[in-house]
A and B are shown apart, each in its own frame.
Chain A
Amino acid sequence: MEYIAHLALSAGIFIILSVSLNLINGQCGQFSLGHAGFWAVGAYTSAYYGVYHPLPIPDFLNLFIGCGIGFISAAVAGVIIGVPCLRLKGDYLAIATLGFSEIIRILIINLDVVGGPRGFTNIPRWSNLGWVYLWVLITVVICANLIRGTHGRAIISVREDEIAAESMGIFTFKYKSLAFILGAGLAGIAGALFAFSQQFLHPNGFTFMWSVIILLMVILGGLGSISGSIIGAIILTLLPEVLRLMGETIANWRMVIYSLLLILLMLLKPGGIMGKREFNLPFLREPR
């Protein structure tokens, strides 16, 4: 039972991460490979608050403050990295954000207050499955609402055709930054929830590989689709567990199986499971 709860919890955190990365990569079309970096910033800053300066108030309020700190710190990191880097395009942006996330990780390793290479321990357990899924809901609602309004459409127009967007009176840099900063901030919330549910953080938990896996979730589900990102996050959280059930050797071939899965996907359904479509309940659809 605890095992299933733990899986559900990681799935929830990965849903927040993939939906927020989808905002940057899928909807705004900016190829970011630094999501684990923002995740780490959110996790470590909120954990720092939880360990050193918790307020004498009920746990759930502290959790909200922790999530707020995670959001703000990751969003600030998003401003610092985004404003100079968003002038780059495609591969160059990917390399720059990748470099950034590694810088964050190395910085954490060298910071003794947060445990350095030994890991950050004694983080209070303020979060649980319910809180995680409340934040999943908040994240999904924010992203879904945003994308239907004029600001979200402006974000998508950047992906579709930047020059045309500018010629339609849209300040593209503003919306690229918005997507990047909001995406980073939401990853920070995922970090806070991760810290307060695992109670232990280690720099190796935020390597470049995790950025790739989050990106894989988004691509598997369909770049640009929120429902796709959710599906992708669930599949890639459960897949290693299923493989583990099938035996040690198969579990060790995890990354190979991921790549095969991705190649298969590219051949059969190049747009991902959902493509750019959304799974919509009738009452959520735009009235026609």
Chain B
Amino acid sequence: MILETRNITMRFGGLVAVDKMNIQLGDSDLVGVIGPNGAGKTTIFNMITGIYKPTEGDIFLNGQSVVGKHPAYITQSGIARTFQNIRLFKNLSVLDNIRLAAHSNTNYGLIANIFKTKTYKLEEERIKNEAFELLKIFDLDKSAYQLSKNLPYGQQRRLEIARALATKPKVLLLDEPAAGMNPNETKELSELIKWVRKEFKVAILLIEHDMKLVMNVCERIYVVDYGVLIAQGAPSEIQNDPKVIEAYLGQEAP
């Protein structure tokens, strides 16, 4: 078990956004989280990555509790994420976006930075080469020196995944990676997700509204509604679960 949440609960005042959520993610699992709008999916992500501190409950990464830790610390321990509404460093080049994600793997101090010592040059060289390797994989190396805000939408989504991978994570959280993509791009994306899991040996937890993508790539699915886990299991089980159908389509008239 690489990632485990135990009864995490998030209350905003009187509103219980997420209630006693238990999510388990094994090594190189590919698991989906689905649910209607406002069900609390992104809140779960925000709790796991440390942006919100859960009101109750515990989160374990590799058996170690990371609950309440600083988001940067959690990322450095191996959880990387993308955002629902793309959050790239817009005014920085594509290359710099990747290099920034490699920040915690860059080993030189402030003084070396200011005086451009030999360590600085060697490390910068290494980071740059690694960044280009990653960009090549995502087919972004040709636009490495462009500002990331100038990339087409689909490429920005890809860059965000590449950037998350540049932090060398063990767990990758993807928040609606297919949002705003056309069917073709979505298809490519599902191939990419499967491939990333195999190539980078990461466990992936993904929030998605595109059922085709979720059913196609995920091995296991959690269904959330009003902050409560209403079902979990393989895609085929989920599709026939009456509770899930009710959450999405409502009840049949008596």
Measuring CB to CB, which residues of chain A are less than 8 angstroms from any residue of chain B? 142, 145-146, 149-154, 156-157, 160-161, 163-172, 178, 224, 276, 288
Bound Cα distance A168, B113 (Å): 20
- Contact indicator per residue, chain B 101-131, by CB within 8 Å of chain A (1) or not (0): 1111010101011111000100110010000
Q: Is the CB of A154 within 8 A of B103?
A: yes
Residues of B within 8 A of A (CB): 49-51, 70-73, 75-76, 80-81, 83, 87-92, 96, 99-104, 106, 108, 110, 112-116, 120, 123-124, 127, 145, 163, 167
Give the docked Cα–Cα distance between A171 and B104 (Å).
10
Q: Is the CB of B51 within 8 A of A167?
A: yes
Asked if A168 and B100 sit within 8 Å, CB to CB, the answer is: yes
Q: How far is the CA of A79 from the CA of B110 in the complex (A)?
A: 17
Q: Are B72 and A151 in contact (CB under 8 A)?
A: no
When distances are taken between beta carbons in the complex, the residues of chain B under 8 Å from A164 are 83, 87-89
Q: How far is A172 from B75 in the complex, measured between Cα atoms in Å?
A: 13
Which residue of the partner chain, among A153, A160, A169, A172, contacts B76 with CB atoms under 8 Å?
Answer: A169
Name A168's contact: one of B51, B75, B108 (CB within 8 Å): B75
In whole angstroms, how far apart are the Cα atoms of A164 and B46 in the complex? 12
Contact A145 B110, beta carbon cutoff 8 Å: no
Which residue from A151, A152, A163, A167 sits with its C-beta under 8 Å from B80? Answer: A167
Q: Flag if B114 contacts A142 (CB, 8 Å).
A: yes
| Bound-complex Cα distance A82 to B73 (A) | 22
Tally the A-B contacts, defined by beta carbons under 8 Å: 100
Asked if residues A149 and B100 are in contact (CB atoms below 8 Å), the reply is no
SS of A interface (majority): helix
Q: Residues of A contacting B80 with CB < 8 Å?
A: 167-168
Inter-chain CA distance A142–B123, complex, in Å, is 19
A152 & B113 in contact (Cβ 8 Å cutoff)? yes
Of B81, B91, B115, B127, most A-chain CB atoms within 10 Å: B91
Which of B50, B51, B81, B96 is close to A153, meaning CB atoms less than 8 Å apart?
A: B96
Q: Are B90 and A145 in contact (CB under 8 A)?
A: no
Q: A142-B114, A145-B113, A152-B113 are in contact. Are A169 and B124 (CB under 8 A)?
A: no
In the complex formed, the residue of A with least CB distance to B167 is A169
A140 CB, min distance to chain B CBs, angstroms: 12
Q: Is the CB of A161 within 8 A of B113?
A: no
Q: A160, A169, A288: which contacts B103 (Cβ < 8 A)?
A: A169
Asked if A145 contacts B114 (CB within 8 A), the reply is yes
Give CA–CA (A82, B100) in the complex, Å. Answer: 24
- Of the candidates B70, B88, B120, B145, which one forms a contact with A149 in the assembled complex, judged by CB atoms under 8 Å apart? B120
Query: For residue B71, which residues in chain A have a CB less than 8 angstroms away from its CB?
Result: 163, 166-167
A167 touches B49 (CB 8 A): yes
- Tell me whether B89 and A163 are in contact (CB under 8 A): no
A168, B49: Cα distance in complex, Å: 10
**Which residues from A are CB-within-8-Å of B51?**
163, 166-167
Question: In the complex, what residue of chain A is closest to B86 when comparing beta carbons?
Answer: A164
**Which of chain A's residues have a CB closer than 8 A to the CB of B127?**
150
